[in-house]
Structures are given as C-alpha cells and as structure tokens.
Amino acid sequence: MNVCFIMYPWNEMNPEDDSTLAMIHEFVKRGHGLAITTPANLTIRDSVAYAFCRCVTRKDKIPGSLKAFHAKTEFYDEMLPLAGFDVIILRSNPPLDMIMLNFLDSVKDDVFIMNDLDGIRRANNKMYTAVFEDEDNEFIPRTHVTKNKEYLKKIIKEGPEKMILKPLNGYGGSGVILLEKSAMKSINSLLDFYIDNKDGTSNYVILQEYIEGADQGDVRVLMLNGKPIGAMRRVPGEEDHRSNVSAGGTVVKHILTNEEKELCRRIGPKLVKDGLYFVGIDVINGMLVEVNVMSPGGITYMNRVYKTRVQEKVIDFVEDKVVERVNAFERRKKLRKHVDEA
C-alpha cells in the first residue's frame, strides 16, 4: 500500500527519539510505498487536492537503526494526488492547522486518515478532556480554559494553594508553570505574558488544579483503537517540575495500575467513536491531564526501556484498517453489480 505522512520537516527530527520516524521506518521495512509532506505543501490543482511530496526511494536493504535509516534515506520529489494514497497519517505539532484539515476534507472518504479529521477538530489536545463525563472529578482534574484575566485571578485566589498554568496550544511541556498563592503579586504580569499579543490579539490559557504526586512525574500511555499498547513513567529533572523528556525528564518502566486501567477503559470507547485511533494520554496519580491526538510520542522511549517495538502494533492496525476498507468496497461493488443485473 501507499502511505503519506503529513508532518514536520525531515531535517528537524531527532533520529534517535522520534516516534514518527519509528513508524516510517516500519512501513518502509514492510515494503510499503511512502511519501512525506508538510501542511505548507498541500495544494489544489484542477479542483483536486495534491501535495508536493518527498517520496522514499525503494531499496533492497533497509538500515536497522533509526539513526542510520534517517541519514541514509533518499528521496525524489513528486506532486501527488492525496486521494491516490491508501493511508494518510497526520503527525504535525500543535497548534492545529485548520487549513490543512480543509484540504483533507475532500479526500477523507477515499483514504484512511489517522486520526479522523472531525475527531481532531473536537479533540484539539488539551480541551478534549471536557468531553468525558466526570462531574465529581474522579479522574479529570478541575480545569478552566479562558482568556479572561479577572476570572483567572478569581479562580487562583479562591482555589487551592497550587495550580498549573499552561498555554492552550503548547506541547512538549512548553510554557507549563506551577502557580502558588505566595506569588500572587506576579500573577498580573504572568497573565499579561501568556494572554496578550503585541498585535492586539489574545491567547487562551489553561488553569488546572495541581494534582498531588505531580512532583514524582506523570505517566504517558499510548492508546491504539481505544486500548493501551504501552506506558512509561516520566520523571522530572532536578531543576524542573515538568516531566516531559524535552524539558529534561527521564523515562522509566511503568506497569499500569488498576486505577489507570479503569481510566483507559472509561475513555477508550469515546476515542474510537471520534476516530481517534492513536493517541497519547498523560496521567498523574490516576487523573487524566491531557489527550494528545496530533502527534503522540513515546514510542522510541518505550521501545528502549521495555526492549519492544510499539510501532509494529500501530502499523499492524493501519494495515488491517486498509484491508477492511478494501474488502468493504469490493463487497459493495459485487452487491451493486447483482442489483444492476437483476
């Protein structure tokens, strides 16, 4: 089959730790045709959606390590119709590019896209936790999303001693800070910095209750088709409260607790219903903090600590989905022929 990744530039990858590269490597190893492009390279020609692609040159021998594969992969350039691919996999970083989704709307019935476009629109990372029913905050911390500074100051003043503030469109731990009431004199300055832009526009921020145990790190769980396929604990560095690896955190093995398994069971059906087949969830002390739907990472770290290959499960799932779609099409084709000939 032929696969297209809509992603960040190839030369911006960290070849030793990139989950996207791990998936591309697995597709190429299995002999699938593979092309990469970026959201900026999507285009329309004669009312048909195309992409200026870099296509991987097929070779008999594929390097075993991701670092060698990244360095030795050769490409050729081609402008290709998106509907000609069997699979499109979105791996672009936040913020969500709505124009990119508009391009893909025209081909979503022809190609298996992971994740579903409407599901991505609904999820949009950090706000998606609000769709899960949890009135008593049993597994979702109290969360506020707004641009209103006065409201935020009121929540901070009336709330617990510690809270977490972060930008809505951040990723990789960028901009996540720990607020304490003892620093109330700095709140105005912080909110101005996070919310106000020089051009007069403003940004949404997230204010979330601090979860006890957060100083010990969080758990990243990769979910595939509504079920966990891997997990790891991310431990903060000595000089940072954030546990993201990109912020200096380290990764250790983690076996899901009964509480965490129950959390996965409760949210899994909704993820599948929304077409969010491959996501990463962040959990602290049994509480769901984030659902990452655009470019969930962690594959390479899990592979390293568990001596496994998580990407194989992802590619198996994609292959099965394509076969399922092809079989359904052939079945409909035969049934329609039977009706036509009646």
Can you point out the beta strands (E) in 169-309?
Answer: 177-180, 205-209, 218-224, 227-235, 250-253, 278-284, 287-292
Structure tokens at 250: 């380290």
Q: Which residue has the tokens 């390590």?
A: 65
Q: Are 66 and 300 in contact (CB under 8 A)?
A: yes
- The whole-model pTM stands at 0.86
Report the alpha-carbon distance of residue 176 to residue 101 in Å, rounded. Answer: 27
Report the alpha-carbon distance of residue 184 to residue 155 in Å, rounded. Answer: 12
Q: What per-residue confidence (pLDDT) applies to 242? A: 52
Q: Report CA-CA distances (Å) from 138 to 208, 221, 253, 263.
A: 14, 18, 25, 10
Q: Which CATH architecture has domain 142-209?
A: 2-Layer Sandwich (3.30)
The Cβ of residue 68 has, within 10 Å, a number of other Cβ atoms equal to 13
- CA 69, distance to chain mean position in Å, is 23
- What does the domain layout of the chain look like in residue ranges? 2-114, 142-209, 214-308
- Report residue 190: phi and psi, to 5°: -65, -45
Instruction: Check if CATH label 3.40.50.20 holds for domain 2-114.
Output: yes
Tell me the fold of 214-308. Answer: D-amino Acid Aminotransferase; Chain A, domain 1 (3.30.470)
Q: What per-residue confidence (pLDDT) applies to 238? A: 62
pLDDT in tens, the chain (342 residues): 999 999 999 999 999 999 999 999 999 999 999 999 999 999 999 999 999 999 999 999 999 999 999 999 999 999 999 999 999 999 988 778 999 999 999 999 999 999 999 999 988 756 788 788 788 888 999 889 999 999 999 999 888 999 999 888 777 677 888 888 887 788 889 999 999 988 889 999 999 999 988 888 899 999 999 999 999 999 987 655 555 565 567 899 999 999 999 999 999 999 999 999 999 999 999 999 889 998 999 999 999 999 999 999 999 999 999 999 999 999 999 999 989 998
Can you point out the beta strands (E) in 133-247?
Answer: 143-146, 162-167, 177-180, 205-209, 218-224, 227-235
Report the alpha-carbon distance of residue 34 to residue 42 in Å, rounded. Answer: 16
Q: Are 194 and 180 in contact (CB under 8 A)?
A: no
Residue type present at position 181: K
